[in-house]
Amino acid sequence: MHYVTAYLLTGSNIGCKLINLIEAAELIDDTTHCIVTETSSVYRTAPWGYKNQPAFFNQALKIRTSLPPYILLKRMKAIEKKMGRKPNEKWRARLIDIDILLYGNEKVSANDLIIPHPGLHVRKFALSCLSEIAGNVKHPVHAQTISKLAQNCTDHSLVIKL
From the candidates 29, 92, 99, 112, give the one annotated as an active-site residue.
99
Query: Residue 150's closest CA among 125, 117, 116?
Result: 125
Question: Which among 29, 64, 75, 85 is annotated as catalytic?
Answer: 85
Side chain identity, residue 18: L
Report the alpha-carbon distance of residue 102 to residue 15 in Å, rounded.
Answer: 28
Following DSSP, what letter does each residue of 2-28 receive, concatenated? --EEEEEEEEE-SSSHHHHHHHHHHHH
Pick from 94, 157, 91, 152: nearest CA to 125 = 157
- Selecting among 94, 112, 123, 155, the annotated active-site residue is 94
Question: Is 112 considered catalytic here?
Answer: no
> In the 8-state DSSP scheme, what is residue 162?
-
CB 150 within 8 A of CB 126: no
User: Is 123 assigned a catalytic role?
Assistant: no
Question: Of 29, 97, 112, 155, which residue is the catalytic one?
Answer: 97
Residues marked active site are found at 85, 94, 97, 99
